[in-house]
Structure 1
C-alpha cells in the first residue's frame, strides 16, 4: 500500500518538467547574443507519452493489438532550427523567451499549490480532522 496517491507522482513529474523548462529558457536568455546559438525547447510530447504509459486497454481477443507506449525516461530537449532572428545566426527571441518564462512560472506555482493542498489534506487526516 502506498502512502501517497498517484497524484503526488504526477505532480512531481510536472514539477520536474517545469524545472527543466525553466533551465532551458534561462539558458536561451543567457545566450541571446551568442553567435550561431540555436534556442532550445522542452517538448511536451515526451512527458505526455510517459504519463500515458500505465494506460492499457482491455484486450477481449488475443489477436487485438496491445495498447502500450514505449517508456521515455527523459524529457525531450530539442533545438529550434527553423528560424533565424539575428544576422549572427542566433534565433533567440528575447520577448518570446520572457513570455515562456512567465508562463512556466505560473504553471510551476499552480503545481506547487496543488501539492501543498494535498499535503494539507494529509495533515488534516493525520490529526483526525482537527
Structure 2
C-alpha cells in the first residue's frame, strides 16, 4: 500500500469522479432542453454507496491480517445512469426542467468543492507528516 492509497483519499477521489460525471449529465440535460423526445438523465451513486456502507460483509482486502476495514472498496462501487421517465413531459415529450437542473447543478458544485477541500486537507496532513513539523 503506497502513501497515497489510503482509504479516505481513494474514496474521496472516487466521489470526485462521480461528481464530474454528474456535472456532465446535467450539462447534457440542459443542452437538450429543446430536443423533442429527450428524457433527462440522472446519475445514481449515493444508493450504491449507502448499500455498501450498510453491508454486513467485511472487506478483507488488507495489507496485514490484523487490519479490518469498514470503508467500502471504491473500485466495486459504480454509479449508474438512469433515464427519468416519471417526470411531467411537455407536448414534445421532453421532460427536462431547467429549474430542477440548475438546482441539482448548484448542489453538485457545492458537494464537489467540499470534497476538494477535504482532499486538500488530507494532502496537507501528509505534507506536514513528511516534513516532520
Q: Which runs of 5+ in 2 are unaligned?
A: 60-74
Q: CA RMSD in A?
A: 2.4
* Correspondence 1:28-43 to 2 at 5 A: 28-43=29-44
| 1:3 match | 3
Residue 46 of structure 1 contacts residue 72 of structure 1 at CA under 8 Å; is this kept in 2?
A: no
Deviations 1:56-83 (A, max 9, x none): 29xxxxxxxxxxxxx8553110000012
Q: Number of paired residues?
A: 117
Structure 2 distance, partners of 1:94, 1:27, is 12
Look up the SS of the partner of 2:43 in the other structure: strand
TM-score, length-normalised on structure 1?
0.79
- Between the aligned partners of 1:82 and 1:27, the Cα distance in structure 2 is 19
Normalising by the residue count of structure 2, what TM-score does the alignment of the two structures yield?
0.78
* Alignment partner of 1:96 is 2:97: no
For structure 1, list consecutive stretches of 5 or more residues without a partner in the other structure. 58-70
Task: Please tell me whether the aligned partners of residues 29 and 97 of structure 1 are also in contact (alpha carbons under 8 angstroms).
Answer: yes
Per mean C-alpha deviation after superposition, the further-off stretch among 33-42 and 46-55 is: 46-55
